Amino acid sequence: MGSQADSANSVPKIEEGVNDFVELQDRLCADVETKLPIQIEQTVGTKTAKLSDIAYDVELDLSLFNITPPLEYSAVKPVVAFYSHKPLHQA
């Protein structure tokens, strides 16, 4: 599988859409054999984001998914504020 979206082994698919806010264009290049994306581009207005060098079936360290907070962190009770159109104190 090649890593270049412009190679002979990829097929670009371009979808465009316009809404009331901004022009949007997506470009997806997929490997012909595996049909997996090898490059994804999204353009919103004048800004473009590109995702390339996409890897599949990569083994990841399970510690990346640890949700235990560090020891120096502490739990706090969240403060919830309720807002009302009524005054808090009436004269």
Instruction: Say which residues have a Cβ less than 8 Å from residue 54's Cβ, sequence separation at least 6.
Output: 36, 37, 38, 39, 40
Read off the pLDDT of residues 11-66 as tens digits, 9 standing for 90 and up: 555 555 555 566 778 889 999 999 999 999 998 888 899 999 999 999 999 989 98
Count of residues in the chain:
91
Instruction: Quote the CA–CA distance of 66 and 49 in Å, as a whole number.
Output: 29
Instruction: Quote the CA–CA distance of 7 and 30 in Å, as a whole number.
Output: 10
Give residue 35's identity as a one-letter amino acid code. Answer: K
DSSP at 7 = S
Instruction: Quote the CA–CA distance of 46 and 22 in Å, as a whole number.
Output: 10
Residue 10 has what pLDDT? 60
